[in-house]
Structure formats: structure tokens, C-alpha cells
Amino acid sequence: MSGETQGKLTILDIARLAGVSKATVSRVLNRNPSVDPVLAQRVMKVVQEHNFVPNITATVLAGGRTQLIGVLAPPLNWPAIPEIMRGVAEYLEGSPYEIVLYCIGSQRNHADVLNRILAMRMISGLLAIFPGGLARQLPVHFQQGLPLVMIDDQEEPEGVPWVGVDNLTSAYKATQYLLACGHTRIAHIQGPLSYHCTVERYQGYCQALREAGITPDPDLLFQSNFEQSGGRHCASVLFARERDRWPTALFIGNDEMAYGFLEVAQELGVRIPEDIAVVGFDDYIISAHTNPPLTTVHQPFSDIGRTAIDLLLSMIDHMSEKQPTRDGRQTSGGVPTQDYRMDPPCIHLPTTLVQRASSRSVLPASRQPGSNS
């Protein structure tokens, strides 16, 4: 068979050469485990001999499943995105799936883009990473049968499978650490109030203070925007106060704001941690290289990406293979499986506090509560 002819092979040609039905070839190409192994081997031998590459559009129209995973994400210069994508890519490296990345910019109508993507039926599932305004539309697509997993901290995880961290507990532990160091005047810089993680991190901060018998002081709460500029602004406001109104420690709602705060402190000659101990939240790569290196809550971004894509592929397999039983439940291979749409999983991965030079392990005696200095 000539190279030209080979390039024009269709699924029907592969079926004829392998002596099987077109449906069998489709199931083999989609790695359907219900195909007899002997038949699957026969089909794959023909596929390999003729360097057959299936046409994605034809596969979809024939009712098959593509090997493409859609990833909806902000631009790659967002600090967390490279690490999340590394986890996704490393996991998919040993699988038959490929990534189609759709970056969410600031100038396009993302709802229209998403609808076009789904209308083409070119992806088997969607991983939505910090989808912003699209987050509230995704549950509708999920309930309509789209395998979907979301990584997000802006909206409360509800209605779709979700992977992230426990922000409340993480913030609680970060504040507990500062309390254990001897600090009782602990300030907090929070992000946008519309973000779910902002609310949870503030709740964790307050919970730790109250358990220590300390009433959260509104004078020590600063409102910001999760950006370096916001951290700089809050630092300027704080350092403009009389020295006796400064906190001895500061829990900042994310590392970006902490970078801005540390910059202003350095410009004004404020010593970190001698004058104010600082703890952030995220542990981006640059956090180990700030001046001084930042103590912060480590989010396992790569693990979040790996866990999310693992969950998505499991959903794709279950939702494509499920068959109704007599009682209406869905099964895969005769075994009842989780109904993802009725009970979307919500997975919280553990965080860790990484102690660096921006905080002291023990508050000096001269700065302990009740000292005269």
C-alpha cells in the first residue's frame, strides 16, 4: 500500500483490514476495556503497520471519545499556574491523553469561547483552573454530562468536582504559629472580600486569636487586593502610624502582598522580623528568595494539578463506561460507581508552614507582652 493511500486510511479501512467491525475499531482506539484483548491486539497491529492517525472530527461524529483534555486557565505568568500545569503534564505523560490549553485573557467574552469549545465536542473533559467569572456557569455544563474538575479559591466549591486546600485550617495554623512565638498583637492583610479564600483565611486567623483569648482588633485588619501594590499600600498605611500602634507580627493573605510589604519595610528601614514578624500564604518559588526569605503557608500546587487531572480522567472513564442497573444506579464493569453529578467530590490537600527568616521562632523577651521596652 503506497504512502499516499496510507495517509487516506479511514476507520472503515482499518476495520476491513483487521476483519472486525467499525464499532470495534472505534472502541479499541478509545481504549474501551470491553473489547476482547485478541481483537484489540489485531486492530492495533493494523493501526501500527499503516501508521494510522484517527481523524478527531470523525471519531466524535461516530460517537467516539477523543484523547484531548481541555484546560481552561489564566495566563501562564500567574504565579501558581506553572506549578499546577507541571503536575498536570507529568501525570498525563504516561497516558494517551493530550492537553489543549485555553488561556483566559482579559479582553474576550469567555462564556462565548467556552460555548464554542464545548459545541465542537473536541475534548473529553475540562479542567478549569481559576476560571473567574466562568465558575458560576460551569455547574450547568457539568450537570449536562461534561466531565469537569475545577481548581479555584475564588468561589465556594459547590456543584462541581473541586480540588484545593483548606484555607481556614491553614490560616488558623499560621496564626497559631505566631501566637506560639509569643506574639499577641498580630495584624492581618486580607484579599478581595468577594473571594471565598479571603473569607476563610480571615476566619482561620480570628479562630486562632479567640482560642488564645484575644479579641480580633479591627485596627489590625487591612483590606487589600492580593497584588504587590496592595501590600505596598498597606505597609505605607501601617508604618505611618505611631510606633506603639504597630503589631509585632503580621499574617498576610497571600505572598504577592507580602512581597510588596517587605519592599516598603526595606525602603523605610523597618527590620523584619525584629520589628515585625511576617508570614505569608502560597509559597511561590520566589518566596524563598525575598529579603528576608518569607515564612509562608506552602500550597502543593503541583500535587493539586496531579490530583485534579487524576480525578478528571477517572470521571471520564466512569461517565463513558457507565450503564444503568435495574435500580437506576450507574455501573462500570458491573460494579456500581460514584455518581459524580449527584455527589461532586471536594478534595482538600494538606498545606505546610515553611519557616524562614521573616519570622522569629521565639519573640525576644524585650518584646514579650507586659515588657517596658
Give per-residue pLDDT as tens, 175-232: 999 999 999 999 999 999 999 999 999 999 999 999 999 999 999 999 999 999 999 9
- Whether residue 164 contacts residue 349, with contact meaning beta carbons closer than 8 Å, is answered with yes
Highest mean pLDDT (candidates 35-44, 115-124, 361-370): 35-44
- Per the structure block, which three cell numbers stand in for 82? 506553572
Nearest to 276 by CA among 176, 183, 150, 156: 183
Phi/psi at 331 (5° precision): -130, 160
pLDDT higher than threshold 80 for residue 359: yes
- Whether residue 111 contacts residue 117, with contact meaning beta carbons closer than 8 Å, is answered with no
**pLDDT score recorded for residue 123:** 86
- For 146, the domain range is 68-165+301-349
Residues 115 and 229 occupy one common structural domain: no
Question: 111 falls in which pLDDT band (50, 70, 90)?
Answer: confident
Selected residue with higher pLDDT from 26 and 242: 242
**Residue 19 CB partners (closer than 8 Å, separation 6+):** 42
Amino acid at 341: R
Cross-strand bridge partners of residue 164: 348
d(CA 373, CA 367): 7
Residues 229 and 361 occupy one common structural domain: yes
- Whether residue 147 contacts residue 312, with contact meaning beta carbons closer than 8 Å, is answered with yes
Amino acid at 23: A
Cβ density class 161-188: b for 16+ within 10 Å, e for less: bbbbbebbbbbbbbbbbbbebbbbbbbb
C-alpha pair distances (Å), 301 with each of 84, 86, 196, 279, 308: 5, 9, 18, 19, 11
pLDDT one-digit tens code per residue, 63-105:
555 688 999 999 888 999 999 999 999 999 878 888 988 888 7
Answer whether residue 23 is part of any domain: no
Residues 147 and 277 occupy one common structural domain: no
Residues 221 and 105 occupy one common structural domain: no
Answer whether residue 95 is part of any domain: yes
Residues 328 and 362 occupy one common structural domain: no
Give 239-268 as a 3 state SS string.
HCCCHHHCCCEEEECCHHHHHHHHHHHHHH
Nearest to 299 by CA among 283, 311, 312, 287: 283
Mean pLDDT to the nearest integer, 110-134 = 81
d(CA 206, CA 56): 53
- Whether residue 269 contacts residue 239, with contact meaning beta carbons closer than 8 Å, is answered with no
Mean pLDDT to the nearest integer, 245-265 = 98
Peptide bond into 350 cis (omega under 30): no
- Per the structure block, which three cell numbers stand in for 45? 497491529
Question: 259 falls in which pLDDT band (50, 70, 90)?
Answer: very high
The predicted model scores a pTM of 0.78
**pLDDT score recorded for residue 26:** 73
Question: 36 falls in which pLDDT band (50, 70, 90)?
Answer: confident
Answer whether residue 50 is part of any domain: no
What CATH number does residue 336 fall under? 3.40.50.2300
Nearest to 59 by CA among 46, 68, 50: 68
Residues 287 and 270 occupy one common structural domain: yes
pLDDT higher than threshold 50 for residue 235: yes
**pLDDT score recorded for residue 4:** 39
Phi-psi region of 41 (alpha: psi -120 to 50; beta: other; left: phi over 0): alpha
Residues 160 and 309 occupy one common structural domain: yes
**pLDDT score recorded for residue 122:** 77
Report the domain count for the chain: 2
Residues 270 and 175 occupy one common structural domain: yes
Answer whether residue 108 is part of any domain: yes
pLDDT higher than threshold 50 for residue 340: yes
% of the chain with per-residue pLDDT over 70: 82
Selected residue with higher pLDDT from 23 and 150: 150
pLDDT higher than threshold 80 for residue 42: yes
**pLDDT score recorded for residue 232:** 98
Q: Name the one residue in this structure whose C-alpha cell is 486546600.
A: 165
d(CA 301, CA 292): 23
Answer whether residue 53 is part of any domain: no
Residues 360 and 235 occupy one common structural domain: yes
Find the DSSP H helices in the chain: 3-7, 11-18, 22-29, 37-49, 56-61, 81-92, 110-120, 138-143, 167-180, 196-211, 228-239, 255-268, 301-321
Answer whether residue 262 is part of any domain: yes
Q: Residue 69, SS3?
A: strand
Rounded to the nearest angstrom, the gap between the alpha carbon of residue 356 and the centroid of all alpha carbons in its chain is: 25
Residues 109 and 231 occupy one common structural domain: no
**Residue 368 CB partners (closer than 8 Å, separation 6+):** 182
**pLDDT score recorded for residue 24:** 84
Rounded to the nearest angstrom, the gap between the alpha carbon of residue 300 and the centroid of all alpha carbons in its chain is: 9
pLDDT higher than threshold 70 for residue 371: no
Answer whether residue 35 is part of any domain: no
Q: Residue 273, SS3?
A: coil
Residues 357 and 344 occupy one common structural domain: no
Residues 195 and 288 occupy one common structural domain: yes
Answer whether residue 209 is part of any domain: yes
